[in-house]
A and B are shown apart, each in its own frame.
Chain A
């Protein structure tokens, strides 16, 4: 029924507005695209400096961006109902891949995260960043909101099974992001506030057992050094001390592009990946950081706006979860680099060097745009018929 309704609505939109613009034809939301483009361009500028002016790295990142942009464009073309239809299958396949990683995965630095398919190597955990909100939105949108306790329980099981699979790789950062994306859907679906409160209390109560039994030694060390980086100056505290030094030495306006000594003299580790905002902060100062925050704020705001106006419940749950997931990754990165959160390997979305994370972010923005394109239809539709 709803399929028919949409088809009618689309047709009527075309009739009502006359020739649609190219952007609308391509299902591109200009108010989301603009800050994304500015952010990616700014990210390239910072990356060039952070990589030690490496042309190779810059062109590799441009290639990553182009591929990710194409993925965005493609994923914007599908209708929301399509995503709803494929969601459970994608989820199951990704879980299967995660299990495969545990058995046949390729290890890098002691962590088994990659799956190698001949020429391509990829991280199924990254796919899960999109598969998780899709699946949960599918599950929870099927029936009236707020969900019943039974359905909530199943929803949480859907969150924790892949979460634990990723955690044992081990990859704490991605696991947290993936689980957050699932919890975000449950939150959007109307998880009762008393449950959220109880969850918070349980979370605090779980600190001790988690510390004892779940966290690896290196993860504990990262949390400990968060509180006292000087206790291990040359070891685990090094990253935090150096990134805070880089950020702090930037001042109001920074030392200038490619002039940051912390970054250029390699005091700052991972300056081109997870810690890239420290490079930006050092070279462009607080004003640069403020600009970056405004760009992210614009993206988040537009994302929430799309969520607000999404036509279907599924669309709203999915859009909200994608925005919250994006926000969560952003906050974890901004927090860990500035020394308020423990160091987990989470990149700065769209700015840090790397292709895989960019793919999952861009595909989620593609889905957002797909939702947005239906929303605009809905609005005209409403104007016409209400």
Chain B
């Protein structure tokens, strides 16, 4: 009973104790719940905007839509640069345990070249984290099928499809059309980076580089809803990509092919211009390279082969090859002589086969001396001097004219300056003058050098394109248009632009042109060899530019010289004479002389007139 009593007392005490505890914990619960509720209020109401934006940016991603690059087609609508759907095998290194073994496995089921592996390894080092690295481009159907079958053995490998630039004519148009390549670090100015978001390739050279701004188009963008893994769930809105514009060329792929065939495997260049507007009908540079190799990255091995080759296949000889123009400038100098009143059509110059300056016993020899041991004829006039390429006549004319008026005359034909053709990296050539020599070499001009410039040798340098423009001036009797490869952008024609004008009486032009006609027509003309079977009239000029200096009395002996020391052969021509349509310039590097070049021009012109008459 006593125990019961004590428990009864405890009952009261304990009740108040536990009630006290309930009060305290209840109050604590209230405080904690209110504090937590405030926490939610703070997140949801006070800082709502911050989290709303955060949620939005979680949910919405931007996807860039790559624009289709503008296609390029030749004058007849043949596509020369297109975008082809292509399949690329890519590797996600994060998903692969043993990369070397995976590559080995891939190599067993599809063909992997050494250069492909090399390009892959380089790209692997430079990739951004979590990005895929391309391993093989342009998978064919069979490769895709084999890869699909072996998919389970190759985790981390994916096949991606995309449009890839493709040049159907390959090396034939490599120098002109150029190529695109993956955008490199230095390819884009910081200001233009925005324009290239969503683009993977950029025009590196040729027309692809020159017309980059119109070809590339503009990337579109779509706002997409994504889930936490980045998978797209749907498109919220999109701004379509703006495709690049289409380029239409003056160039004729057929003509280019004929030029390539005619030149064969010789080093050199062939240019054909439309005399009436400067359109580039053909522009071939040998040796050539395959532009398709560059599109998705060329291997270092392949690239050094091209870069280090003695034959310099990466150089576009048409606009970057600089050679002494040699005798091809004689018609222009003749016209200048007539214009300056130094000569007339009947002025005669004695031709013993060499020329000497007063007070100097050095003999400036005519090329004919080596062939016949004497001059072309006892006396020579302008027309026959052009036709037979008489050096003595032009030594005399140059001597009378003086270097500076001569330089001025040659420059008026567009020589010694860039033509401004729509291709990048054109070279300017060189027409020397006394001022130039003082500035460049710090020496004064010697009279003998004037004679050498008078036959287009010495310091003189011209590109085939420059000579084509200068020849056009003669063909059109005073006017040449700036050479243009592109005829129209998206059907919008590019208006011809005058490059240079030379004012002269018609009689003067006639004399010079008659001389050029005689190179073919006259039996002693230097290009008489192409006369046979000619169905149109041609005015032309041959040239032989020296690669090595021939000593005073030494004899040029082709057999003794290595191939690379032989003379370059030039040929410039236009046709038909009365109403010139086409201007052709051919250069055969180390071809020996002009006679190596005119058969090439003949084939080009034959094809042109067969197609266009």
Contacts and interface: CB of A to CB of B under 8 A. Distances in A.
Given A248-B44, A289-B44, A324 B58 contact: no
Given A1-B4, A145-B13, A247-B44, A304 B51 contact: no
B352 to A, nearest CB: 91
B228 A267 contact: yes
B523 interface: no
Contacts, number: 141
The B contact surface, by secondary structure, is helix
B145 interface: no
Interface residues of A, number: 48
B126 interface: no
B47 interface: yes
A313 B59 CA distance: 55
A331 B44 contact: no
A78 interface: no
Nearest to A296: B33
Contact of A249 (B4, B40, B55, B225): B55
B333 to A, nearest CB: 76
Interface residues of B, number: 42
B17 to A, nearest CB: 5
Contacts of A285: 44
Contact of A293 (B19, B37, B55, B59): B37
Interface stretch (A12-20, A54-62, A200-208, A258-266): A258-266
A285 B52 CA distance: 12
Interface in A1-19: 1
Contacts of B229: 266
A133 interface: no
A320 B22 contact: yes
Contact of A286 (B4, B7, B40, B52): B40
B58 A262 contact: yes
A338 B39 CA distance: 7
B14 A313 contact: yes
B233 interface: yes
A190 interface: yes
A252 interface: yes
B36 A187 contact: no
Interface in A282-330: 282, 285-286, 289-290, 293, 296-297, 300-301, 304, 307-308, 313, 316-317, 320, 324, 327
Contacts of B37: 289-290, 293
A281 interface: yes
A252 B48 CA distance: 9
Nearest to B7: A144
A251 B41 CA distance: 9
B309 interface: no
Interface string A143-160: 011100000000000000
A313 B16 CA distance: 11
A343 interface: no
Interface stretch (B24-32, B97-105, B246-254): B24-32
A237 interface: no
Interface string A233-252: 00000000010111111111
B298 to A, nearest CB: 37
Nearest to B58: A267
B22 A308 contact: yes
Given A249-B52, A265-B226, A304-B26, A316 B47 contact: no
A75 B54 CA distance: 47
Nearest to B44: A286
B19 A308 contact: yes
Contact of B41 (A190, A261, A286, A334): A286
Contact of B51 (A248, A265, A289): A248
Contacts of B227: 265-267
A307 B43 contact: no
B490 interface: no
A340 interface: yes
A144 B58 CA distance: 60
B21 interface: yes
Contact of A335 (B29, B36, B45): B36
A251 B18 contact: no
A160 B44 CA distance: 39
Contacts of A250: 44, 48
B39 A146 contact: no
Interface string A197-221: 0000000000000000000000000
Contacts of A297: 33
B83 interface: no
B151 interface: no
B347 interface: no
A245 B44 CA distance: 9
Contacts of A249: 48, 51-52, 54-56
Interface in B221-268: 225-229, 233
A188 interface: yes
Contacts of B6: 144
B161 interface: no
Nearest to A246: B55
Contacts of A246: 51, 55
B21 A248 contact: no
B10 interface: yes
Given A188-B21, A265-B233, A304-B22, A334 B44 contact: no
Contact of B43 (A1, A144, A244): A244
A247 B19 CA distance: 37
Contacts of A281: 40, 43-44
Contacts of A144: 6-7, 10, 13-14
A145 B10 contact: yes
Interface string B38-74: 0111011101101110111011000000000000000
A31 to B, nearest CB: 16
Nearest to B32: A331
Contacts of A286: 40-41, 44-45
Contacts of B54: 245, 248-249
Nearest to A266: B228
A188 B25 CA distance: 9
21 contacts: A144-B10, A144-B13, A145-B10, A145-B13, A188-B22, A188-B25, A252-B48, A261-B58, A261-B225, A265-B225, A265-B227, A265-B233, A281-B43, A286-B44, A289-B40, A293-B33, A313-B14, A317-B18, A331-B33, A338-B40, A340-B39
Given A300-B26, A320-B18, 16 more contacts: A144-B7, A144-B14, A145-B18, A189-B18, A190-B21, A245-B58, A247-B40, A262-B58, A265-B226, A267-B58, A267-B227, A290-B37, A297-B33, A300-B29, A304-B26, A331-B33
Q: Which 5 A-B pairs have the closest CB atoms?
A: A248-B51, A249-B55, A265-B227, A286-B44, A248-B43
